[in-house]
Amino acid sequence: MARYFTEEHEWIDLEGDTATVGITDYAQGQLGDIVFVELPESGTMLEKGKDAAVVESVKAASDVYAPISGEVTEANAALEDDPALVNTSPEEDGWFFRMTVSDKSQLEGLMDDKAYKSFCDEL
Amino acid sequence: MGCFSAVRGASMLATKGCVLSDNTDTPQEIEQLPLDAWHRRKGARMVPFAGYEMPIQYSAESGGGIVAEHEWTRSQAGLFDVSHMGQLMLTGENVAAELEKLLPGAITTLKPGKVRYSLLIDEDGGILDDLMVTNATPWIEADEEAGTEGHWGDPAYYLVVNGAMKWDDIAHLREHLPDEVTLTHMDEHALVALQGPNAATALNRVMRNTIEDMIFMESVVHDFGEWPLRITRAGYTGEDGFEISVPAEFAESLCDRLCAEIEVRPCGLGARDSLRLEAGLPLYGHDITTETDPVSADLGFALTKRRREDGGWMGHEKVMDVFNSGPARKRVGLTFEGRLPAREGAKVFDGDTEIGRITSGGFSPSLGHPIAMGYLEKSHIEPGTEVEVEVRNKRLPAKVTTMPFVPHRYHRGK
């Protein structure tokens, strides 16, 4: 399984033709205490760079954009009852949604673990 | 993720400013306050607010985070830097009577050492700012050598105004107060607020019990060693607590001293905002503006009866029109089920009819559900009235409620 990172602080796990998407530990740290996550329903067609989800922290609402294009196959129902999972386990249990990958070439140019880490170090 | 590039309303991120930033503020240089380095050493995330770099929250490693700081203040004592606020001293023979021409509170009858919440009102009855007025007239001790008895010194009034509004306030006061009144901007002073049920315990321990007799809305000058402090029992969280005005050069030492107490932790603007929202206290620039009057804002308690009847203050006629006929819209509280917060600007509906707007809202850490305040049509302001609030094309059921959402716990004495 390969994990990719975007400059918008999302991670993408690719397993066959399915991708799992979430936000990184760095991102949750910047957002602070998360109280609500609005996720796309199954069947929603996402287009790279367009609205996919909204994260509400105590203070503010922030958009999450689709890192790649595809169709949502599952949203993480656990976030409905426990949105703080994004704070406590952002890169595992706090995943946002699963989706199909319309165009694998969109993954090209995304960062790997090491590149993302040095990207964050420079922020 | 869009929180770094496109944010709804505002962002928590240092690079983007914060949701607390005042929309009435004009672009200006971002300045640093006396406690800037102290905050950074404590792991604060600094954001521009009211023209200054201010701590929005402290690092999670040191027990920070908005919710943690909020809960700490509700259970222990939080130390907030509010040095961005304007501290003004007005002196002169008729200063109380002159001040009464610009605000609707009774100032001439305010006794030395007492504090009153008030409002600067414009000619149209709109709110220019809200502020605290303290009668700071000093007591002059008897002097046997000079043969004088103890007596009150020259009248002095200490004002604390909003940071984002202070330059406008100073200009307004200078324009309308006579030359006999001297206005001093105490910009060499920091202001910190110690808030929470254990604030008095901690402060009394530090100050050797010298402030234990104070009650809510009282203020004293207290020389703590070489630090000349003004300590006022008031705040913006709904909890018991104190605001301490301190010369900038001693501010770090004072904060270190307070934070050495087991009950005290530094808290940022984020927690300050969620605390004041739960306490039902309006935030200038959001819940009250020049577009709102004191009656619609449900701040009628700031309109002293004598002053309502006798008038003689700017905007009196306009405000009394609303007072007598009743406001068309009024500021009320709203509570929500679920977890999705409705924020500033959200529209409120009864069926298809828009009946109001949210002026501030968020998730209440103490209550575990979203709360908001906003202005609703008078037909819908009764507590218990069910309405709907629109958030991203969804309708959230909400209920009108009395404020505060979380009861105040001021120390009013026996």
Q: Which domains does chain B have, with CATH numbers?
A: 17-82+188-278 (3.30.1360.120), 328-414 (2.40.30.110)
Digit-coded pLDDT (tens) for B246-263: 999 999 999 999 999 999
| Preferred mutation among A33, A110, A116, A122 to probe B, highest tally of B CBs within 10 A | A33
Residue B14 has pLDDT above 80, yes or no: no
B121 contact partners, CB below 8 Å, separation of at least 6: B102, B103, B104, B127, B128, B293, B294, B313, B314, B315, B316, B319
Mean pLDDT of B217-245: 96
* Average model confidence (pLDDT) across chain B: 92
Write the DSSP symbol of residue B156: E
Alpha carbon A119 to chain centroid, angstroms: 17
- In this prediction, residues B140-145 reach a mean pLDDT of 92
> Which pLDDT score, from 0 to 100, does residue B28 have?
62
Query: What is the torsional sign of CA B355, B357, B363, B366?
Result: negative
| Whole-number pLDDT of residue B27 | 54
Each residue of A75-111: pLDDT tens digit?
999 999 999 999 999 999 999 999 999 999 999 989 9
* pLDDT tens column, B23-39: 444 556 899 999 999 99
Q: How far is A17 from chain B (nearest CA, A)?
A: 22
Dump pLDDT digits (tens) for B250-300.
999 999 999 999 999 999 999 999 999 999 999 999 999 999 999 999 999
Pick the CATH number of A2-106 from 3.40.30.10, 3.20.20.70, 2.40.50.100, 3.30.1780.10: 2.40.50.100
Contact B113, B88 (CB under 8 A): no
* Interval B136-146 mean pLDDT: 93
Contact B3 A55 (CB under 8 A): yes
Whole-number pLDDT of residue B25: 47
A14 shares contact with chain B (CB less than 8 Å): no
Selected residues 52-71 of chain B with any CB under 8 Å from a CB in chain A: 56-57, 60, 65-67, 70
Question: Span A113-123, mean pLDDT?
Answer: 93
Residues 56-115 of A with CB under 8 A from B: 56-65, 83
CB-based contact A57 B12, cutoff 8 Å: yes
So what's the pLDDT on residue B208? 86
Number of neighbouring beta carbons within 10 Å of residue B240: 24
Quick one: average pLDDT of B235-245?
98
**Interface with B, mutate which of A37, A54, A59 (most B CBs under 10 A):** A59
Q: CB-based contact (8 Å) between A26 and chain B? A: no
| Residues of chain A found within 8 Å of residue B370, distances taken between Cβ atoms | 35
Nearest CB to A58: which of B2, B9, B270? B270
> pLDDT confidence of B62, banded at 50, 70, 90?
confident
pLDDT tens-place string over residues B321-361? 999 999 999 999 999 999 999 999 999 999 999 999 999 99
Which residue in the set B11, B66, B340 is minimally distant from A56, CB to CB? Answer: B340
How far is the C-alpha of B116 from the C-alpha of B234, rounded, in Å?
10
Q: What is the distance between the alpha carbons of residues B39 and B49, in angstroms, rounded to a whole number?
A: 15
Residue of B1, B5, B6 lying closest to A27 (CB–CB): B1
Q: Chain A residue with minimal CA distance to B4?
A: A8
User: Least CA distance to A66: which residue of chain B?
Assistant: B1
